[in-house]
Structure formats: C-alpha cells, structure tokens
Amino acid sequence: ADYNKSVEDRLTAVCEFLKSSVDYYNWVGFYFRNGDKEELKLSSFAGEPTDHTIIPFGKGICGQVAVSNKNFVVPDVKAQDNYIACSINVKSEIVVPLFLKGENIGQIDIDSHAVDPFSEEDERFLEFVNEKVAEIL
C-alpha cells in the first residue's frame, strides 16, 4: 500500500470510484473554498476536464451551495437560471456541501447525462461520503 498518497490523490480515487460505481454519475469532483477568498477552487475530479476551476460564491449551483450550506439537487439543468454549463451532455446535477468541524469548506459536485436521476438515497450517500472525506483532510 502507498501510505504517502497525497490528499488530492485520495480524493481522485474517491471520484473515480464513485464515477465507475454509479452509471448516472458522469462527472464527479470536489471543490473547496480557495483560502480566504469568496470563491471555490476545483480540487480532484473524475471525468472530462472543465474550464470552471474557479467559481465565485453565489454563482452557479456550486456557488449557491457555498453560501446556502444546503444540498442542491437539479433534476433538469435547463430549468435553472443561475447555472454554469460545463458540458452540453450534462442534464442534471447534485451538489452536497462538505463540513469540517461544522464549517462548510467545500462540496462534492456530480453531473449526470440522465434527466432527474438523483434521489434522497444519493443525498444521504453523498453526505456520508463527505463525512468520511472530512476525516482525511
């Protein structure tokens, strides 16, 4: 085993595991608050590279979750006005905040090519994933 894996490598492994385990998880990534700035920065991800590596608080689904501290499930991205498109193939999205010692420090973001695939089961599962990830940060 490689005990020297960096946090980023471990998060990449989590992203790849999730993407390959669930057929409607087509892009999986972690965004974290960028230092003291009011913006998110893309960390590890699995799937197509995105141009949106920096997202200001309040912008898009991710930026809204950074300020709301709440899960955001988007069954159909076409119905959202405050949305940042990363790929024309993406139809839906789920963003779940990641808390460290009660503070919203980032989020897991999942894009899907399916319309309305996300259930409360995904929300509970991704909350659990984020709790586990917080333990290795």
Enumerate binding residues for ligand SME (CB under 6 A).
Answer: 27, 29, 50, 52, 55, 60-63, 83-84, 86, 93, 109, 111
Q: How far is the CB of 3 from ligand SME (least distance, A)?
A: 31
Angle, helices 120-134/7-21, rounded to nearest 10 degrees: 160
Minimum separation from the CB atom of position 109 to ligand SME (A) = 6
Strands (E) across the chain are located at 27-33, 39-46, 54-56, 72-74, 92-100, 103-112
In 3-state terms the chain splits into helix, strand, coil percentages (rounded to 5) of 30, 30, 40
Q: Please tell me what DSSP assigns to residue 114.
A: S
Distance CA 23, CA 110 (A): 12
- Residue number of the CB closest to ligand SME reads 60
Of 5 and 82, nearer to ligand SME (C-beta) is 82
Our CB check for ligand SME shows the closer of 62 and 133 to be: 62
Q: Which residue's CB is nearer to ligand SME, number 86 or number 133?
A: 86
Least spacing, CB of residue 61 vs ligand SME, in Å: 4
> Cα separation of 73 and 77, whole Å?
10
Distance of closest approach, residue 9 Cβ to ligand SME, in angstroms: 20
